[in-house]
Structure formats: structure tokens, C-alpha cells
Structure 1
Amino acid sequence: MTTVTYQKDGRIARLTLNRPEVMNAINDDMPGDLQAAVERADADPEVHLMVLSGAGDAFCAGYDLAHYAADPDNKLTQPMPWDPMQDYQFMWANTQAFMSLFRAMKPVICKVHGYAVAGGSDIALCCDLVLMADDAQIGYMPARVWGCPTTAMWVYRLGPEKAKRMMFTGDKITGVEAADMALVLKSVPADQLDAEVEALAARMAGVPINQLAMQKMVINQTMEATLNQTQRLATVFDGITRHSPEGLNFKARSEDAGWKQAVEERDQGTFDWTRNRQIPGNRD
């Protein structure tokens, strides 16, 4: 594992996303590394639970757009005509790697500081319990163009109407707002986040592994009846978003103007992706 570190701390396995120089942005290796770390903890008879966090200034800033969007040689967006099954194979593997957190026998606490956005929100929301710093932000901005959250965890955590509010806008919300919406378990001041996570982890660590596993399995079963079908549809749609006319225009804009400008224009709503031009009245 090169992008995720693993540390065993008594009954707790500590998994840390470890690309701090790019706010732990997801590259080709991270999904597999994350799954390997989860499987290692799940197989250890002394580990009762996992705590997942991010090194540096953020939990995870999503997919590494310098690689996936701005690089003209990256094949995540294929030349047309595109092969949807090739795209699906790649993204489904990533989705299943993130879902190892959900499917693990042992519970996972996710500690979010800074950002858990785009694909980073997929990772966080696959965990069993999410605690955020008040000033941290979570959202799925690619819902505006170039993405569909493949894990579909937004709707399972929020319900249809609140999930639509997030997906129809691509807005980011703070930890306080996320807790108020019941998207995450709790939000606390940033300087209290570590202590809050440690207190919860210590409380859970005193429960036998088999008890933790049975409670998790029973609760997850309420979601599993439809989860696989929903995620397959979302993964297909994610590929379509990147190969639609608007998705191809976003990719071209990222290559020409840089992914940071393309993302700013997407998030601020200042670019018409259908006509591939600035919206009149906005800056050039």
C-alpha cells in the first residue's frame, strides 16, 4: 500500500489516506490500497473496529483532476465512440473498493476534517459512522457536470428529498449543516474532533467483535436489498456524465484552462457546458 497507511493500536486499526500533498485526492492506486487495508483489519482477530482519516489538511478532495481531467492522455474519458463497459469496469472496481468499508464485518468510524468532497464523500459515506469538524465541508460538486456518485450513499443516508437538494445543486455543506441534515452522526469544533472520535472508538472497542459484527450486519441488511442495483445504475450514469456533450466540454475546458478554473466555473455556475462558453454577463 502506497496511498493508505495502516497502524494497529490495541483493538483499533487506524487507516489513513496518505497523499497529503494533493489533499488525499484519489488516484489509480488509492481504491485498491484502501480495500487492502480494510481487509487486513477485518482479518485481524484482535482488531474490533477501524478509524479512517486523512493525512494533512483534508480527509479527501475527491478524484485527482490534475490526472483525470486536465491530462489529455488520461483515458478515463475515452475517445468517441466510447466503450461504456470499459468505463464501467474501471469505476465499478473503485466503487466496490470503497464499499469494502460498508461490507467489512467490523465497524468503521470516519473522521472528516477539511474536505470530504466528490469521490471523497463516496469514501466517507461508505463508513458506518462519520464525525466531522464544524468547519469541514462535504458535497458532491460533480453532480453539476462530469459525475454521478457511484456509491449512491447520499440517498440512503438522507432520503430522497434531501439527497435531491444536494444532487440538484452540487453544493458543499459544513459539518454543522451535515449533522443537522442527519447526513453524518455528529459535528464538533475542529479542536475537539480527535477527542470525540477517540472517545467513541474507545467505547466501541469494549464490545466483543461478534456483537459488533452482528449489529452491523442486521442494520446494513435494511439497505442491501436495493443497494447493488442502485449502485450499478449510478456507475453506468457516472460514465455517461463524462462522455455526454457537457462532460466532454468539461474535460476539454480542464485541459485548456486548467482543472482549477474549470472546477470554479462549474461550481459557481458561470459556464454553459452545453454551448461550451462563458454565460453572458460573467467574466471571460
Structure 2
Amino acid sequence: MAGLVVIFDFDKTIIDCDSDNWVVEELGINHLFTQLLHSLPWNSIMDRMMTELHNRGKTIEDVEKCLKKVPLHPSIASAIESAHAFGCDLRVVSDANVFFIETILKHHGLLDCFSEINTNPSLVDEQGRLRILPYHDFNSSPHGCNICPSNMCKGLVMEKIRALVSADGKKQLVYVGDGAPDFCAGLKLEEGDVMMPRKDFPICDLISANPLLTKAKIHEWSDWEELGANLLSTVNNALIDESSNTRTDQLVPLDCKYQNTLISATAHEALQKALPVSPPH
């Protein structure tokens, strides 16, 4: 599936929480975080929180252990693994940070499914303290977007991704997210692309308030079963579109619990001829 690129937000999209808030609350520094909330950018506060944890004797291993407890629904894990098995190019665009995202994805066996993670850089300094840095240097070169936070404009990241993946031909992009910055990312989608916004979250409010700005097809989701079904329906439809140019021996046999619930009977019949898919468990 060389023509399909699926881009995920991370917090409240792949995982069922905000990873920053999870660490702050689980490791007992929520009070200090709240105090700083209106005086510093969020990204800068998280860097300050990691210093506070270090000062309290918390190690990088403590942070890692905390992150491994983050809830990730089996349905989204299954959908990611299935899309990867089909050959989709999976990427992350997130305002979390490299350490948090890689730790969580690796723990759930999903890290190798993604070709790229676009997020705030992080590093462990010589003192053993986790440092979290901004994706965009907002002091020297502010991005100027009034939707996204100062440290990361997802729209600019999407422009970079499209340029990279389109270098060797036309690609269909799918974007999955929940927040206002994900709306900014979605504005970079074109006709034929797919936007998957989470229902009753800021992204849907912005889409509703600006109905003419989004060019992509919109498939909403409210829970991870619905997201998984929507994602695999999109993958399967793309597979059907490409099937005339793809030999059946190049397709990946897939045992997936989703039985293409959103695909029409005709499309489902066409898919079954191209790829053996087991019934739902």
C-alpha cells in the first residue's frame, strides 16, 4: 500500500489520555504544574516538571515505569498492526515528546509500525535528568500560526510530510486526531485525503465552525473500536482502488478482528477476492 500514508496524533488518539498529564499526576507534581500553567508555555512547563522530578529523586526509570502504565486500547493497537501489515506508511505528529511516545509504543510492541515520529525532542542530560525541548524554536523563529502552540505548528509539519512522501508519486493522506492543532494539520489535506476527527473534541468544533476550510473526506470516531473500523475501512478501500495494479501474491494475508463493517457489500466482495480476511473473533 505504497500510496497510503496514515498520520496519527498521539495523546487522546492513540492512547486514552494525555501523556504529559499522566506523568504529572502519577508522579505527584500536579500542584506545581497547575501553578505554572498560566505563566509558561505547556512545553516549557513539562521541561520544568522533569527537573522537579529529578530534584525529588525520581529517576528516568521511574518516568519510564510510569509511562508503561498508560492505557492503550487493544482495538487501536490491532488497527495499527493491521494497517502496517497492509504496507501503509504510518507516522506520528504529536505535541508530546520523543521519550514519552517511544517508551509507550515500544512497551505495546507498536514502535516498529511507524516510519517517523514528529514531536518535541527530548534527551537525558549528564545528570540523568530528562529534558524536553520545543519542536520549533519559538524564540528565534516563531511559526506565526494562531491555532497551534508556540512550540509546534502541526500544519507546518504536515506540509513537510506531504512534500517528503509525494516525492515519488501521488499519495493519499489520512490524518487522525482530536485537538485544535490537529484541525490545523487537517487544513493541509487535499481532496481525496481523509480526516478522522474524534467526536465531541475541539477538532470537531472547529470543523463545524469552519465547514468550507476542510477539503478532505471526514470520518468521525468516538471510541477506539469505531476508529479501528474506520481506519481499516479506509485501508481496504484504498486496497480495492489499487487492486488492478497489484498482484494477489503481493498482498498480505491478514487475520483481523474487524470485518470491514463500514464497507459496502460490493466493495467487501471485491476485497475478499484480493485478500483472505478471517471472520471477526
Q: Same fold (TM over 0.5)?
A: no
Higher helix content, 1 or 2: 1
Bigger Cα Rg: 2
